Amino acid sequence: MTDAFYDVLMRRRDVRAEFTGAPIPGDVLNRVLTAAHAAPSVGLTQPWDFVLVSDHDTRSAFREHVLAEREVFARSLADERNETFARIKIEGILESSLGIVVTYDPERGSPAVLGRHAIADAGLYSVCLAIQNLWLAATAEDLGVGWVSFYREEFLARLVGLPEGVRPVAWLCVGPVTRLQETPDLERHGWRRRRPLSAATHLERFGELNTASR
């Protein structure tokens, strides 16, 4: 049982190129959203919302914006990095079956959110926990998920009609895939390699590395 859980966790990938575009059955989508909605949240505020975007015009408009932002980033790179970046696909907005815009409403449960008085970002953290639940549940259902982050929040907020104060946190491309890659795209394309866990674990204080761990 633990093995089945870890299998899902390790198979999960950030998908760009492998979407088939086939529809997501309604019961599957409901299970995936139910998983997201079961995430923990500061003060039990559940400050997330999910905007399900199928509409072709909305997705096309978002994709145009993302491509323009891709250019902004490309222009910031030195030549060699730019060549590497040019090989990397950063979104599957039109090829995926569904866009899910995940948002954060800081007003939910306000003013006295239990656990947020000292840390303003705590509500935003909750939304991310819901996103990871969604991502893993989608993986368990043999769907792929790709998080697109080449956008300006104001653009996406206007595009899907977010009320004043509600922030978009992610555009997730979701849908059936031909396969999940074994190695993350950015590593396969030579952008960056993963660091060992041993470099990320510290004993008692930061900087005291945990040499017993891998």
* Nearer to its own copies among residue 179 and residue 193 (C-beta): 193
Binds its own copies (CB under 8 A): choice among 2, 80, 182, 211: 2
Find the binding residues for its own copies in span 69-108 (CB under 8 A).
Answer: 69, 72-73, 76-77, 81, 85, 88, 90, 103
Residue 61 makes contact with its own copies by CB under 8 A? no
The count of chain residues that interact with its own copies, using the rule CB under 8 A, is: 103
- Does 204 sit near its own copies (CB under 8 A)? yes
Chain centroid offset of residue 58 CA:
19
For residue 3, with 0-12 CB atoms within 10 Å meaning exposed, 13-18 middle and 19 or more buried, which class applies?
A: exposed
User: If binding is defined by CB under 8 A, does position 211 make contact with its own copies?
Assistant: no
Give min distance, CB of 186 to its own copies, in A.
4
The conformational region for residue 148 under phi > 0 = left, psi -120 to 50 = alpha, else beta, is beta
Near its own copies in 114-173, by CB under 8 A: 114-119, 121-122, 124-125, 128-129, 131-133, 135-137, 140-141, 147, 149-153, 160-163, 166, 169-170
Is residue 180 a contact residue for its own copies (CB under 8 A)? no
Q: Using CA atoms, how far apart are residues 155 and 93, in angstroms rounded to an integer? A: 16
Closest CA to 92 of 177, 16, 12, 180: 16
Tokens representing 114 are 């239990």
Nearer to its own copies, 21 or 190 (CB): 190
Q: How far is the CB of 172 from its own copies (least distance, A)?
A: 11
- For 147, phi then psi, to 5°, come to -90, 115
Tokens 């993986």 map to which residue? 139
For helices 122-140 and 2-11, the axis angle rounded to 10 degrees is 100
Cβ-based nearer residue to its own copies, 17 or 147: 147
The least distance separating its own copies from the CB of residue 9, rounded to whole angstroms, comes to: 5
Q: Smaller CB distance to its own copies: residue 59 or 95?
A: 59
Distance (Å, whole) CA 52 – CA 114: 29
The set of residues, in sequence order, having a beta carbon less than 8 Å from that of 142 and lying 6+ positions away, is: 176, 177
